[in-house]
Structures are given as structure tokens and as C-alpha cells.
Amino acid sequence: MTLSECCELAQDVTRVPITSLETTADCAEFCALHQFHPMQEYLLPNNMKRFLDSISNNEIVSITDLFRVKTLFFRLGTVPLVVGPFCSEFFSLNDCESILRQLGLKNFSPNDLLAHRGSLPVSQESFQRHIIHCVFRAMGFPIPEELRDINYNKKSNSTHLQDVASNIPYAQLVEQRYDLETALMKAVEQGDVVTALASWNELHHSVAFLKRLGQTLENARVAAAITRTVIRIGAINAGIPPIINDSLSSMSAGIIRHARTIDEIDQEHERLIREYCQTIRRKLTIGHSNLTISVLYYLDHSYAQPITMQTISEELEVPASRIISQFKKEVGITPLAYLNRIRMQHAAHSLAHSRAPIHEIAESVGIMDANYFVKRFKAEFQDTPSQYRAKYFR
């Protein structure tokens, strides 16, 4: 994985931009885009250039500006990067008025400040620092051990250096967590569901970390985003097609976003790990190409929708003739024959476990014509749906 790909992945997960400031033009563009007020003097290009030159490879620099907007700076090899800007707290109009009053900006509109902050993503700084550590690990660089905190919002405007290693218990805890995340990443990469789940459980039940973080629903969602990042990197290393990786991750993010309890989030973690490992095993053990894996994933997860070769072709942006040829060569049947088999298997399960009307079961597997469904079902199982239910209903 390249640095650009790694940063794009982290940005997709967190919704907080990660920008390379490698050239003078990059630096000038970043400053011009994000300087909200002349008082933000650190966002003058010359000042920014001097500041970037001062960053060592062993530190993350956190800047909190006069308007309580945060940015994190770090250096990966010779490349300086910035995470943000972002806000770590929500502001009301009264909060904006208070900040402007403290700064003596009487002629500056609090509505403008509110709008500016509202345009920025909101995230916990600790989460963003963790994402930076994930980037270092993914790129094979040593994790920075120091945090330099520059807070322009304080009266003293002082800069201080916090040596994370001076807090020995927490440093050990963080290192332990990274080791567990690495184990999870490698297990997913190998499609080893047993080891992956064991690593996740050990990671999840890290008592000291949970005490520090606090078991709130929002913190559980943050932890879930971190876990998804680790799993996605493992899947990328395994060569899983991006379309599948994005689909699995996005679906999981949606489930967790709407979860009402921490237990629901934990269950989704387990489901996601199992599905990723199953997909990766299919690639590693059977040796399917990325195209065939993508088709299988699409059919397995979309069988309830109206599907034709045209819809498959449009979804994957690959000609239908190529899909049919490659799929039949590797699987032994055409994509539509596989789709029919999947539909009939799901229908058979519903017939054996529910009293739903046959036309509803047909519709649930993507077949709107009940007569056609009966015909296809009998061809697959040598029984009509009614006969099959009579034999196997429990």
C-alpha cells in the first residue's frame, strides 16, 4: 500500500482530511484554504514552512488555534502531513460570541465563526492520533513517542513537549493495544476467523483501556471505526477488491451508526470479521480472481434484487461477456445460474423455517412471478415448494 492509498483509506473512515504538505505549493494551498482570520498567523505560508521544518520523525504536533480548531502535524520519512482541520467539540452561537469576546474581535460576526466551525468535521483528537499511529504501522515506520501540544487559545500561548513515554503504564497499554491490532490485521489478512475473533476479543476486553476510555455508546462507535480501519488494511493486504472492501466497511458503518446498544455494536464487530475472513478464504483457498470474487460477493448480497447480466456489468464496470467467460471458467456455471442456485437455497431455508406464503418467499429472493419461482424451485430440488415444505418444515 502506498502512502497516498493509506491516507485515502484513513480519510474515508474518519471523514477528516489527511493532506501531504511536501511541496511549497501544497503548503500555500493548505494555508489559503484554511486561514479563516488573519490572527491565525501559523497559517501564513512562510510561518508554516518554518514550522514544518521543525517537526521531527518522532513526534505528533497538535495545534489548537484561537478559535479552538485543531490540526495534527507529523512527518513520515521526509513527507510532512497534516490531519484536519477538525473540531473536537460542538459550539453554540453563545460559545462563538464568548470566544470572539475573549479575543477582542468585537466587529467579527459570531455567525461567521459558527458557520466556519460547522463546515469542519467533528472528531476526538485521541482518535485522530490513533489513526496517525495506524498509518505509521501500515507504512512500516516506528510509532512516534512524543506529543507536542501548541495551544494558541491559552493566554500564555506556550509550547510544551509531553513525553508520552514518561507515563509508563499508559505507554505499555498503548503498545499492547497496537500488538493486538497487528495480530487482528494479520489474522484477517490470512482469512483465519478463529484467530481474528480471538484477537478482537482480547482487544475488546482490554480492561485498562476500557476504564480509560469509558464505556459509552459514542466511544464504542469510535472504537468500531478503529477496528474497521484495522480490518480494512488486512483485507487490502490480502488483495480483496476495493469494491468489496468498501461495500463491507460501509455496510458495517451504517449498522453501527444506527446501533442502540454496545452489545449490538459488539455483535456487528463479530459479524464483520466473519464476513471478511470468509471472503478472504474464498480468494486464498479457491484461488478465484478478483473479478470472480466481486461477482460472487455481489450475487450473494444482492440476490433479493432484480438482477440481469447488464446490472452485474454496470455494477462492476466490466463487459458482460468477460464476466460470463471468467466466472464460468472459475466456478463452472454462469453468473445467472449461480444466482438461481443462491435464490433457491434461501427460498428452501424459508420454506423449512416459516409459514410465509409461497409468493412472499418468491419475492423475498427476487422473483416476482410465483409460477416461474415454482418452476425454478422444482428444477433445483425435484419438489414443488409446497412438497418441500411438507417434508422439511420444522
pLDDT exceeds cutoff 80 at 169: no
Confidence band for 206, pLDDT divided at 50, 70 and 90: low
Of 103-107, 151-155, 373-377, give the lowest mean pLDDT range: 151-155
pLDDT exceeds cutoff 50 at 159: no
pLDDT exceeds cutoff 60 at 157: no
- For residue 190, CA distances in Å to 83, 231, 236, 335 come to 31, 11, 11, 27
Question: What's the mean per-residue pLDDT of the chain?
Answer: 82
Task: State yes or no: cis peptide before 85, omega within 30 of 0.
Answer: yes
| CA 13 to chain centroid | 4
pLDDT: is 120 or 170 the higher one?
A: 120
Confidence band for 344, pLDDT divided at 50, 70 and 90: very high
pTM: 0.46
Confidence band for 172, pLDDT divided at 50, 70 and 90: low
pLDDT: is 209 or 126 the higher one?
A: 126
Q: Identify whether the C-beta of residue 143 lies closer than 8 Å to the C-beta of residue 178.
A: yes
Helices (H) and strands (E) in the chain, counts: 19, 6
- For residue 277, CA distances in Å to 48, 184, 225, 280, 330 come to 44, 11, 18, 5, 20
pLDDT exceeds cutoff 60 at 60: yes
DSSP state at residue 282: I
pLDDT: is 155 or 149 the higher one?
A: 149
Position 33: which residue type?
Answer: L
pLDDT, position 171: 52
Q: In this prediction, what percent of the chain has a pLDDT beyond 90?
A: 16
Confidence band for 373, pLDDT divided at 50, 70 and 90: very high
pLDDT, position 213: 42
Ordered by where they begin, the domains of the chain are 3-164 (no CATH), 169-287 (no CATH), 299-392 (1.10.10.60)
pLDDT exceeds cutoff 80 at 202: no
pLDDT tens track for 11-54: 887 788 898 888 888 888 888 888 888 888 888 888 888 888 88
**Residues belonging to the chain:** 394
